[in-house]
Structure 1
Amino acid sequence: MPEDERDLLVAAVWLHDIGYAPELRETGFHPLDGARHLESLGAPRRLVCLVAHHSGAVYEAEQRGLVTELEPYEREDSPLLDALIYSDMTTGPAGQRFDFGRRIDEILVRYEPGSEVHTAISRARPYLGAAVERARARPGG
């Protein structure tokens, strides 16, 4: 990452799942709930949008009927978003290091077939895999 974007990436990696906190739950869709919370705190717009769109969030928004609610948060197709996706898609829920395939499998086992998350991750797999590969292909990746 360019030096001027590293702090933003670190913040996004740390905060991307903040919307899982029960006290922040509004819609039950953690990328949107997290982005709304960060926005209410006056967080930088790019951070808010990265949280809103981490790891193919639009695929799950489609399953939940929340695309319209996600639209105000611009998605940037950038090395920064790829790096955030890479971080999420190569780290397990307890911080363990996974390769991409194992991480996807872990998610699919945790969520029942037919659930919003299972369906969304299944549909997002090619998009997520491409982002992981782009991140790996960059210098230092």
Structure 2
Amino acid sequence: MKVRYYERVGLLAQPDRTASGYRDYAEDAAARLLFIARARRMGLSCEQVTTLLPVWSSTSCGATQERVIRLVEDKQAEVADRIAELQQLAAQLDDVRARLEAESPPSACRADLSCCVPESTGGPVAIELSRRPTGSPA
């Protein structure tokens, strides 16, 4: 777990320090950290977890559960979109590979490298590569 990162992004409060400088977490910090860790393992972003914290800290478990359900549904839709994009990309790659395998390579590469990277039959597939911001946890 990346406790210091969660402190830095505001998900977890900065703890008090002992006289020797060690972090001294209150009991409620452990429960909050467990909640954050579980939400992150479900694939929720730190921003989404931030929106859950005020609801979670209230006394209404039902409200928290409803909010988590909505976030899970949103995450499932994102995953479905991503799967569709990746399937489209996989089909395009299969097409390119098949065309490359069907032709004998020329004795020298063409100036436009179309002998090595032929034009794809489909349109471009926008694949969002998930980049972690600098300093975010793995």
What is the TM-score with the length of structure 1 in the denominator? Answer: 0.22
Greater helix proportion: 1
Relative contact order: is structure 1 or structure 2 higher (C-alpha 8 Å, sep ≥ 6)?
1
Q: Which has the larger radius of gyration?
A: 2
Output the TM-score relative to the length of structure 2.
0.22
